[in-house]
Amino acid sequence: MTESKGDIVRNVPFLEKEGTMRTLIRNGTVVTSVNEYEADIYIEDGIIKEIGKNISRDAEEIIHAEGKLIFPGGVDEHVHYGSFGGRLFETTDAAAAGGTTTIVDFAPQEKGVPLIDAIKKQAAKAQGTACVDFAFHGIIMDPKESVFEEIAQLPEVGVSTLKLFMAYKGTDFYSDDESILKAMMKARECGVTMMVHAENADIINVLQKKYLAEGHTEPVYHYYSRPPVAEEEATKRAIALARTADCPLYVVHVSVKEAMEAIREAYTQGYPVFGETCTHYLTLTTEYLAKPDFEGAKYVCAPPLRPQKHVDALWEAVQKGWLQAVGSDHCALEGGFETKKRGLGDFTKIPNGCPGVQDRLAMLWTEGVCKGRITRQKFIELFATMPAKVVGLYPQKGEIAAGSDADLVIFDPDYEGVIRNEDSLHGIDYSPFEGFPVKGRPEQVYLRGKKIAENGRFIGPKGEGKWQKCRPYAMCYDYFSLN
pLDDT in tens, 59-115: 999 999 999 999 999 999 999 998 888 999 999 999 999 999 999 999 999 889 999
Q: What is the pLDDT, as a whole number, of residue 19?
A: 53
Query: What confidence category does residue 157 fall into, taking pLDDT thresholds of 50, 70 and 90?
Result: very high
For residues 182-187, give the mean pLDDT: 98
**What integer pLDDT is reported at residue 414 of this predicted model?**
98
| pTM of the predicted model as reported, rounded to 2 decimal places | 0.95
pLDDT of amino acid 184: 98
For 441, residues 6+ apart whose C-beta sits below 8 A from its C-beta are: 362, 411, 412, 415, 417, 455, 456
For the segment 355-382, the average pLDDT, to the nearest whole number, is 98
> Residue 373 burial (CB < 10 Å; 0-12/13-18/19+)?
middle
Residue 157: closest CA among 131, 140, 184, 137? 137
| Peptide bond between residue 395 and the one before it cis (omega within 30 degrees of 0) | yes
Each residue's pLDDT tens digit, 197-232: 999 999 999 999 999 999 999 999 999 999 999 999
Please check whether residue 411 lies inside any domain of the structure. Answer: no
CA atoms within 13 A on the CB side of 293: 1
Residue 480 — pLDDT band, cuts 50, 70, 90? Answer: confident
The answer to whether position 218 is within a domain reads yes
Residue 369 maps to which CATH number?
3.20.20.140
Q: Is residue 17 very low, low, confident or very high in pLDDT (cuts 50, 70, 90)?
A: very low
- 3-state SS track over 223-281: HHCCCHHHHHHHHHHHHHHHHHHCCCEEECCCCCHHHHHHHHHHHHCCCCEEEEEEHHH
Residue 7: pLDDT above 70?
no
Q: Is residue 447 in some structural domain?
A: no
Name the domain count of the chain: 1
pLDDT digits over 421-443, tens only? 999 999 999 999 999 999 999 99
Inter-CA distances, 164 with 146, 161, 173, Å = 16, 10, 8
Does pLDDT of 3 surpass 50?
Answer: no
What pairs with residue 457 in β-bridges? 454
Average pLDDT over residues 313-335: 98
Rounded Cα gap, residues 78 and 161, in angstroms: 11
Q: Is residue 464 part of a domain?
A: no
Cβ neighbours for 471, distance < 8 A, ≥ 6 positions apart: 155, 160, 392, 393
Q: Dihedral through CA 155, CA 161, CA 167, CA 168, nearest 10? A: -50
Count CB-CB contacts under 10 A for residue 60: 18
Q: Which pLDDT band holds residue 481 (cuts at 50, 70, 90)?
A: low
Q: Is residue 236 within 8 Å of residue 261, measured between CB atoms? A: no
**Residue 14 within a domain:** no
Q: What average pLDDT score do residues 151-173 get?
A: 96
Taking the C-alpha atoms of residue 191 and residue 161, their distance in angstroms, rounded to an integer, is 9
Residue 10 has a pLDDT of 28
Q: How many CB atoms lie within 10 A of CB 28?
A: 23
At 443 the pLDDT is 98
Burial, 460: exposed, middle or buried (Cβ in 10 Å; 0-12, 13-18, 19+)?
middle
Q: Above 90 in pLDDT, residue 116? A: yes
The domain in which residue 317 lies consists of 73-398
Residue 443: inside a domain: no
pLDDT in the model for residue 479: 78
Mean pLDDT of 403-412: 98
Tell me, what's the pLDDT at 482? 64
pLDDT for residue 400 is more than 70: yes
Q: Does residue 361 belong to any structural domain of this protein?
A: yes
> Does residue 396 carry a pLDDT above 50?
yes
Q: In the predicted model, is pLDDT for residue 11 greater than 80?
A: no
> What is the per-residue pLDDT across 263-280, written as a single tens digit (0 to 9) for each?
999 999 999 999 999 999
The partner residues of 105 in beta bridges, in order of sequence, read 79, 136
pLDDT at 2: 30
Section 446-451 average pLDDT: 97
C-alpha 317/C-alpha 125 separation (Å) is: 36
pLDDT at 321 over 70: yes
Q: What percent of the chain has pLDDT over 70?
A: 95
The pLDDT, as a whole number, for residue 9 is 31
pLDDT at 14 over 60: no
CA separation for the pair 104, 469 (Å, rounded): 11
Task: Return the number of other C-beta atoms located less than 10 Å from residue 413's C-beta.
Answer: 16
Query: Of 43, 96, 56, 46, which is closest to residue 74 (Cα–Cα)?
Result: 96
Whole-number average pLDDT of the chain: 94
Q: Within 13 A of 391's CA, how many CA atoms are on the CB side?
A: 33
> Is residue 33, in this structure, part of any structural domain at all?
no
Confidence of residue 1 (pLDDT cuts 50, 70, 90): very low
